[in-house]
Amino acid sequence: MANQKLDLEEFVDEIRVILASRKFEIYGSHGSCQTVVCDSADEFMSVLQVVRGADGIDEELDIVYV
């Protein structure tokens, strides 16, 4: 994952779940983008579980499966 300065005023707007390459693209409200690449299927499923949990909490979060 790329190192970027944390902006406490920025929120996650969208998460793209890219199944074929086991990665997640996270888009912020100020236009930033970070990518999380998982090394194993277990790691991918763990991150996916967190993403799905966040979907139930934040109604404004868009989760897109690619």
- Tell me if 59 is assigned to some domain: yes
- pTM score, two decimals? 0.80
- Write down the pLDDT at residue 59: 80
Q: For residue 6, tell me if it sits in a domain.
A: no
Give the tens place of pLDDT for each residue, 8-27: 788 899 999 999 999 999 99
Which residue range is the domain that position 31 belongs to? 12-65
Q: What is the pLDDT of residue 9?
A: 85
- Does residue 2 form part of some domain? no
- The total number of structural domains in the chain stands at 1
57 lies in a domain?
Answer: yes
CA separation for the pair 25, 2 (Å, rounded)? 11
Q: Note whether residue 25 is domain-resident.
A: yes
The first and second tokens of residue 31, run together, are 């236009």
DSSP per-residue letters across the chain: -------TT--EEEEEEETTTTEEEEEETTS-EEEEE-SSHHHHHHHHHHHHHHHHH-TT-EEEE-
Residue 35 domain-assigned (yes or no): yes
Could you tell me if residue 45 is inside a domain? yes
Residue 44 falls inside a structural domain: yes
* Whole-angstrom distance, CA of residue 36 vs CA of residue 32: 14
